[in-house]
Amino acid sequence: ELFNLKLLEFENNDGFADRSSYCFTQFAIKELFPELTIKKKKSRIIKLMKTHTTISSKKMYYNQQEGVQINQLTNLLKQEQFKQIQQRLADRGMRKGFACLFYGAPGTGKTETALQLARETGRDIIPVNVSEIKSMWVGESEKNIKELFDNYRLAVEDSDIAPILLFNEADAVLGIRQEGATSAVNKMENSIQNIILQEMETLEGIMIATTNLTQNLDKAFERRFLYKVKFEKPNIKAKQAIWLSMIPELSKKSALILAEMYDFSGGQIENIARKNSVDQILTGKKTTLKQLQEYCESENITKGGEGKRIGFR
Ligand SMILES: Nc1ncnc2c1ncn2[C@@H]1O[C@H](COP(=O)(O)OP(=O)(O)OP(=O)(O)O)[C@@H](O)[C@H]1O
Ligand SMILES: [Mg+2]
């Protein structure tokens, strides 16, 4: 009876239901003991929550188009504005959830933008361990995804300012679903994706997904993202600003030269700025344009030129 009422479930450790012991479901805990804040063992796909006060401020420089979109999104997600919008959507019987997709080349600032957005709007981040989702047992992963969204729903209800559910590097779950999948792995991937799609339908808070995928993004996902921001490689003006912000002792002219010579992402420029700092600390040498150019050349070689992600991040 209690099982049918969804008040009890079997204990479940590491994916195996233990039929000799029971525990309350999240639902039961919420219904029966609303006054208690019971900390539940977190599933592995939910990493530690990141409070917005721990995110350090970083100035981002965008191309015109992305800049406008991100500005708009930041304003929308400021609490005052967000509350009004949600109310209006509810009045019109529309879904209240805000799902945003940041997509584009590696190192163009997608993850950092999500963090800065959270910081500026005072929202905590609940990060999802996307790689864990795929490495779990078949039945287990489906259950854990549901639990993830249930936990998120509770977090939204419990906080004045809705936190952001962050699917960082979500390529694995946003890719095209396999039609008529036969292998167990493909079937599982499809069902994981279907569950996420379903959950997105009833999402009440804010979800941000970042991905390098541009071509083979599943259309069903594409449709469910209300805001999609494409991150292009920075143009010369943006690159110049990034160079200057990362190596403040650089002259504007040198920064422009570097911006014009190298087709780098912000992430690549950051790499070079780091190398330069390390070098300065070790040798005490001043920053020179020539030295920076040498770093740029070697960055070009190690990265194999355009776009491709090599090595680990
Ligand atoms: N537009 C930008 N303005 C300023 N800094 C930038 C910009 N883009 C990237 N950076 C710098 O590069 C670092 C790496 O960027 P980030 O990790 O956000 O890239 P990403 O788009 O998420 O890449 P990936 O697709 O590989 O995950 C940032 O922490 C930031 O310092
Ligand atoms: Mg990233």
CB of 43 shorter than 6 A to ligand 1: no
Extents of the domains making up the chain: 1-41, 52-231, 236-302
Residue with CA nearest ligand 1 atom 15:
109
**The ligand 1 atom nearest the CA atom of 234:** 1
Residue 7 is predicted with a pLDDT of 86
Ligand number with the minimum distance to the CA of 167: 2
Report the DSSP beta bridge partners of residue 211.
103
Q: State residue 313's pLDDT score.
A: 40
Mean pLDDT per 10-residue run, the chain (313 residues)? 84 65 82 72 64 94 96 96 92 90 96 97 92 68 85 92 94 84 80 90 94 87 92 97 96 97 96 93 89 92 52 41
Instruction: Say if residues 106 and 200 touch (Cβ distance below 8 Å).
Output: no
H or E element: which one contains 207?
strand 206-211
Nearest Cα neighbor of 165 from 196, 197, 199, 124 is: 124
Helix (H) or strand (E) holding 90: helix 79-91
First to last CA, the chain: 49
Fold of 52-231: Rossmann fold (3.40.50)
Nearest to 240 by CA among 257, 255, 251: 255
C-alpha Rg value of the chain to the nearest Å: 23
CA distance 94 to 98: 11
